[in-house]
Chain A
Amino acid sequence: MATLAAAAPVRRETEWSVAVAGAALVVFLTAAPFVLYPVFVMKALCFALFACAFNLLIGYVGLVSFGHALYFGWASYLAAYSAKVWGLPPELAVLCGTATGLVLGLIAGVVAIRRQGIYFAMITLALAQMMYLVALRAPMTGGEDGIQGVPRGWLFGAFDLNNETTMYAFVAVVVLAAFFLIYRIINSPFGEVLKAIRENEQRAISLGYKTDDYKLVAFVLSATLAGLAGSLKALVFQLASLTDVHWTMSGEVVLMTLVGGLGTIFGPIVGAFLIVALENYLAPFGQWVLVIQGAVFVICVLSFRRGIVGELAARLRVRL
């Protein structure tokens, strides 16, 4: 890690546009439970964190993982299992799930970063499918039923998470902290190296960076944060199920990030809220959801590649 010290000096000050948008996000999340259905906001927040974790890879390292459901889903299984069967308190259950994301990310990362580009996408997808098939059979996941009735428990033995407001506060604080962590990662010297790899990996190598090490660390970070999102979701819904490990979930997180804006700070958050809301409204239309999601993909790729936040940032000429 000696190379870290050699990284170019980085602008450390926060841009005003990011500060304003961040403050708006905090205000929104404080007001949201009074206007919106708290479970909806919590669900959207979990997906927002998931999408931000995914964006860390696609937006800042240029790696397209098509198997992020693996970390999200399996973390959610482990969090649910440890809370229900081992009787762990919620903070440890979330930690357990997050650690699952880390370990799986490390294993999958070592295998996947051996190839680039579309091969990387296919490998991550295949690994996720393999673990989906394992989840389908393994006794601990409960197969088609999933793990139901996960107890939310008492946070630090002091806060009762069965209270919707307490649960909301817990989720909001953890997710905001994770957002801040991601922001710090992408603005650190480490993050600058990641962007250099995205722009021109060969040149980054010639500058003496061990790009594979950087990619692996970024991959593990992304998987860990996806795991955190999955663990929170297991507590919010008191359920871990096959939906969260299925490839459609991997596709959904790509969609959220793309709609919001690849490589933007707030894009994945906006995208996640939008897609979760869309799915709520479209739920009665059954299979059309798949068709509409597909159409959104096609439209975004053909004519809206910057996404909502990316487009906005380009119009206002600021970073968001």
Chain B
Amino acid sequence: MLEIFGVPSQALFGQLLLGLINGSFYALLSLGLAVIFGMLNIINFSHGAQYMMGAFAAFILLRYTGIGYWPALIIVPIVVGATGVVIEWLFLKRLQKLDHLYGLILTFGLALIIEGLFRNYYGSSGQPYGVPESLQGGRNLGFMFLPNYRAWVIAFSLFVCIGTWYGIERTRLGSYLRAATENPALVRAFGINVPRMVTLTYGFGVGLAGLAGVMAAPIYNVSPQMGSDIIIVVFAVVVIGGMGSIMGAIVTGFALGIVEGLTKVFFPEASNTVIFVIMIIVLLIRPAGLFGRSA
């Protein structure tokens, strides 16, 4: 069998693939956080809970109505995004003039409520969610076995990430968004409804979290604490990348996933702390983050 640095290539590429999968979710989630932060200037602490909601929504659709993965991929982000719109409209709107810390604390409270509710009804053990039939199986690439569903997750999350980047950086609507981030009062003077744009932006960011949840359902167990497990890592990712740039969030997400996968091969004990260690190193060397603009 082929060996690379004394590690069988099967194991190496297998972990690289796992790393890329994790990286896809880091990228999707930190992208959502960056979009929300850009517009609302808050860190959405309930992002993990909303990702978990997405996974559970897909699970509930399948169990109680028989609606499968493909429709769920469209329905769930819209539904989860709609709950985000309601949250923004009911709560976050009232906090605009206050210290950012209140937004953080409020969304933390919301995360507790959402996680607690799902734990009440589903316990803390995981629920299974099957891989859709059309993506079952996999192919042998010669050097490794590639399950179809995992290939799909990586490809689709890349597509969504780049689509979002394009939408924000290259379209007219995106330019309104960026302008409103810089100077909301001036943009309002041009007759653009900025408050509605803020609401929809939050909804969109939350919808992205919901989408990530649906995609994660067949890979990880659907459980109430799946959100809080991942979101703290994503926070570290965001600190490393800096939230100034959309592309930065995407690149950092994927890169750190790969680094995590490689660590699992060469130094398994450190695999779940490596991202935090990288965060510390980046903070000591380049406090603004890799892609961040210094404040």
Contacts and interface: CB of A to CB of B under 8 A. Distances in A.
A291 B101 contact: no
B239 A294 contact: no
A123 B235 CA distance: 8
B53 to A, nearest CB: 14
A295 B100 contact: no
A294 B235 contact: no
Given A123-B239, A130-B276, A298 B283 contact: no
B273 A119 contact: no
B102 interface: yes
B175 interface: no
Interface stretch (B4-12, B106-114, B154-162, B250-258): B106-114
Contacts of A297: 105-106, 108-110, 112
Most buried by A among B112, B236, B280: B112
Nearest to B109: A297
Contacts of A287: 116, 119-120
A294 B83 CA distance: 17
A298 B87 CA distance: 11
Contacts of A129: 232-233, 276
B284 interface: yes
Contact of B109 (A123, A289, A298): A298
Interface residues of A, number: 43
B101 A111 contact: no
B279 A295 contact: no
Contacts, number: 118
Most buried by A among B43, B109, B272, B283: B109
Contacts of A292: 116
Interface string A130-141: 100110010000
A115 B283 CA distance: 8
Given A134-B273, A258-B105, A291-B117, A122 B112 contact: no
Nearest to B272: A133
A122 B233 CA distance: 10
B199 interface: no
A149 interface: no
Minimum-distance CB pairs A-B, first 3: A297-B109, A290-B116, A294-B112
24 contacts: A58-B101, A115-B239, A117-B100, A118-B42, A118-B100, A122-B235, A125-B235, A126-B276, A126-B279, A127-B280, A133-B273, A254-B105, A254-B108, A258-B105, A286-B120, A289-B116, A290-B116, A291-B120, A294-B111, A297-B109, A297-B110, A298-B106, A301-B95, A301-B109
Interface of A: 58, 64, 66, 111-112, 114-119, 121-123, 125-127, 129-130, 133-134, 137, 247, 251, 254, 258, 286-298, 300-302, 305
Interface of B: 37, 42-43, 91, 94-95, 98, 100-102, 104-106, 108-117, 119-120, 228, 232-233, 235-236, 238-239, 269, 272-273, 276-277, 279-280, 283-284, 287, 295
Given A118-B37, A121-B43, 19 more contacts: A111-B284, A122-B43, A123-B283, A125-B235, A127-B276, A129-B276, A258-B105, A287-B116, A287-B119, A290-B112, A290-B116, A291-B120, A294-B112, A297-B112, A298-B113, A300-B105, A301-B105, A301-B109, A302-B91
